[in-house]
Structure 1
Amino acid sequence: MYNGHIDAVEHVSHFNQRMDVHSKNETLMCKVLPSSLGPVAMRWFNGLGVCSIDSFKELTRVFGSRFVTCSRVPRLLDSLLSISMREGKTLKTYSDRYWEMFNEIDGDFDDVVIRTFKVSLPTKHDLRKSLTKKPVRTVLLLMDRINEYKWVEED
């Protein structure tokens, strides 16, 4: 349900995914889209002039331009540099914050992600030492190594 506070492009993308089997039927797509709109967007939709929209593509373009202020702007890669493991915080807390930020960045930067995670750990942290001695090559392997150390930390 589009509530006016989430990214309009993402909403349309999810809607298209759900409606994939009907994607060739533009009329149906235009008639079903309103069922995914919350009160604010529904008021906007109801305010559209009769016959003012000629296609589903135009409807989604107008929808996106109306709710453009809700669009998610991807974070820059250097946002990861602002995160570090704070004194007295757990590896779990640090990694949760790091991956939350990571998920907001567009692109494929595994090597940079791995390095920034490692250098943001305290110099004496066992995980940092492990990553220095035995580097990982993928984010998935980094996550596995983090999980190993989180278990040790929790025990």
Structure 2
Amino acid sequence: MTNISRSPFTDEIEQAEPPCKFSMSHFTTFKGDGDPEWHLKHYRRAMVLYRNNDALMCKILATTLQAEAQDWFHTLPPRSIRSFDDLSLVFTNEYSSYRTIKKKSNHLFPVKKNPKESLHDYVKRLKAEKAKIVGCDDSIANATF
């Protein structure tokens, strides 16, 4: 009972049993030095069959935390996490400084050809930058070129 009282999860989450035939698959670990939104996105995708089981979502996410992230998890106040949404919120807030800044199409405008750079190398560099932008507007990429 001592472990339950120290757990950041409510008693309801802590005492919930995994569903029959649940088997732990391999999850990407989070050590506290990456993008928390990326980790949650991949975690949700891996747990898609269990997304309606809040207790399981919480417990399994906790097992994906390693190193400093695991230490952080153990500093959460007892019984403060009532749902997966609660856990996701405190998790992303804690590691928000590691979020990846999503680039937009206008990020390409400062990419200029250096005077001694070959056209081939410039195009290669421009394409590499364009690949980092999700849903890049081709008309902006063309205007940049």
With the length of structure 1 as denominator, give the TM-score of the two structures: 0.65
The 5 Å alignment of 1:132-151 reads none
The offset of 1:91, in angstroms, is: 4.8
CA distance in 1, matches of 2:76, 2:124: 43
**Structure 1 match to 2:122:** 94
**Structure 1 match to 2:95:** 67
Residues 98/10 of structure 1: CA separation in 2 closer, same or farther (3 Å cut): same
Q: Give the number of the structure with larger relative contact order, counting CA–CA contacts within 8 Å between residues 6 or more apart.
A: 2
**Structure 1 match to 2:69:** 41
CA distance in 2, matches of 1:42, 1:95: 43
Letter matched to residue 34 of structure 1:
A
**Structure 2 match to 1:115:** 143
**Structure 1 match to 2:31:** 3
SS at match of 1:54: coil
CA distance in 2, matches of 1:114, 1:2: 38
Structure 1 gaps of 5+ residues are 118-155
Residues 32/91 of structure 1: CA separation in 2 closer, same or farther (3 Å cut): farther
CA distance in 2, matches of 1:60, 1:100: 32
Q: When you count helix as a share of all residues, which structure comes out higher?
A: 1
CA distance in 2, matches of 1:38, 1:93: 40
Letter matched to residue 110 of structure 2:
S
The offset of 1:38, in angstroms, is: 2.4
Structure 2 gaps of 5+ residues are 1-28
Please say which structure displays the higher CA radius of gyration.
Answer: 1
Q: Percent identity?
A: 27
The 5 Å alignment of 1:14-33 reads 14-33=42-61
**Structure 2 match to 1:57:** 85
> Is the deviation greater in 30-39 or in 108-117?
108-117
- Alpha-carbon contact 2:106-2:140 (below 8 Å) kept: no
The offset of 1:115, in angstroms, is: 2.2
CA distance in 2, matches of 1:91, 1:25: 54
CA distance in 1, matches of 2:124, 2:94: 34
CA distance in 1, matches of 2:52, 2:30: 23
SS at match of 2:109: helix
Letter matched to residue 57 of structure 2:
M
Residues 23/96 of structure 1: CA separation in 2 closer, same or farther (3 Å cut): farther
Q: Runs (4+) of structure 1 moved beyond 3 Å? A: 87-93, 103-108
The offset of 1:106, in angstroms, is: 4.9
CA distance in 2, matches of 1:103, 1:4: 26
